[in-house]
Amino acid sequence: MSDINLISVNNLVKHFPVPGRHNARVHAVDDVSFSIKRGETLGLVGESGCGKSTVAKSIVRMHKPTSGSIFFGEQDIAQLKERELNAYRKKMQMVFQDPYSSLNPRMTVLKLIAEPLIAQGVVTNAKQAKDLIIEILQKVGLSAEHTFRYPHEFSGGQRQRISLARALIIKPEFIVCDEPISALDVSIQAQVINLLQEFKYERSLTYLFIAHDLSMVRYVSDHVGVMYLGRMMEICDSEQIYKTPLHPYTLGLHAAIPIPDPVAAMSKKQSAIEGDIPSPISPPQGCRFHTRCTQCMNICRSEEPELKDVGNNHLVACHLFDN
Ligand code: SF4
């Protein structure tokens, strides 16, 4: 780990037009800021529709941000043109939730893993990269005999290993893992997590690890950010988020983590969040969480709380911590 930020996101905004509604916009991400030091993992957590995947896709420039800056090292890549982005595409890769839909079913493993190398001009065809591909397959726990098979011939866990090999083959510095274990059996999830951790230390990789609940990011993250309806609600080191969570939404996410012991589960004090997430087309005034917050006060309905440090680099956006 180092003290130098590899990724710095500042006041990121991403709005999408609503088809058929001229002035309406989906407020997918609003004024989100955070940084990730080289060699660290930031876990980004929140319910479906909170904007975490849009943040990730904006960083790897699958989406062009509406406004804000995204620094990769010293360079702001937020507004770079497609041609200027090539040098950064090699340094950033993404692993998706569903390896089956992210892998072309008509391509063999050899061609799938060669594709990023060909796109970056490292080789001109898959055969030239065969030795390199076999080496990376072995590193992710597969073997040379898998090179001529197709994605449907593998289990979910094996397909995610292929996705990982495809991301690693061009030696990126930064990988976005967008819910990489959510679609896998519990027994396979740990294997994929262990692989990610091995590569993190071996190659000093930096990760943004996205998940919809706190339990999934626990063992991989150095820091954890909690998003709700396009906003960052809380961000701190991972120990604090589990031992001393502060934001009422984070407390609700804690309550949603299943406890394997039925006696302990019955004595659990926190209660899970009720109600549905409001529409991101017209997010609530004031605190965006106020329609579901059990501690809502008058000020919460009119004034949006700022994300501020309440000590030890623990940032919270909630009026309960205004003083
Ligand atoms: Fe709840 Fe108010 Fe804090 Fe929002 S600002 S989380 S509504 S207490």
The model's pLDDT over 165-187, given as tens digits with 9 standing for 90+, comes to: 999 999 999 999 998 887 777 77
Q: Ligand 1 mean position to 62 CA, how many Å?
A: 33
CATH architecture of 5-91+173-184+205-321: 3-Layer(aba) Sandwich (3.40)
Instruction: Write the residue with the smallest CA distance to atom 3 of ligand 1.
Output: 318
Q: Ligand 1 mean position to 54 CA, how many Å?
A: 24
**Is beta strand 308-309 parallel, antiparallel or unpaired with respect to 92-95?**
unpaired
- Kindly give the number of the ligand 1 atom that is closest to the alpha carbon of 293: 1
The SS3 assignment for 73 reads: coil
Backbone φ and ψ of 97, nearest 5°: -65, -45
Phi-psi region of 130 (alpha: psi -120 to 50; beta: other; left: phi over 0): alpha
Q: What tens digit of pLDDT does each residue of 112-163 get?
A: 999 999 988 888 888 888 999 999 999 898 999 999 999 999 988 899 899 9
Ligand 1 site residues (CB inside 6 A) read 248, 287, 289-290, 293, 295-297, 300, 305, 318-320
**Of residues 7, 3, 58, 5, the one with CA closest to residue 31:** 58
Q: Ligand 1 mean position to 292 CA, how many Å?
A: 9
Q: Ligand 1 mean position to 282 CA, how many Å?
A: 18
Backbone φ and ψ of 285, nearest 5°: -65, 160
Does 255 score more than 80 pLDDT? yes
Residue 58 to residue 66: CA distance in whole angstroms: 10
* Cβ atoms of residues 190 and 222 within 8 Å: no
Does 236 score more than 90 pLDDT? yes
Residue 26 to residue 28: CA distance in whole angstroms: 6
What's the whole-model pTM score?
A: 0.90
Residue 285 to residue 246: CA distance in whole angstroms: 22
* Cβ atoms of residues 9 and 54 within 8 Å: no
**Of residues 25, 283, 214, 51, the one with CA closest to residue 291:** 283
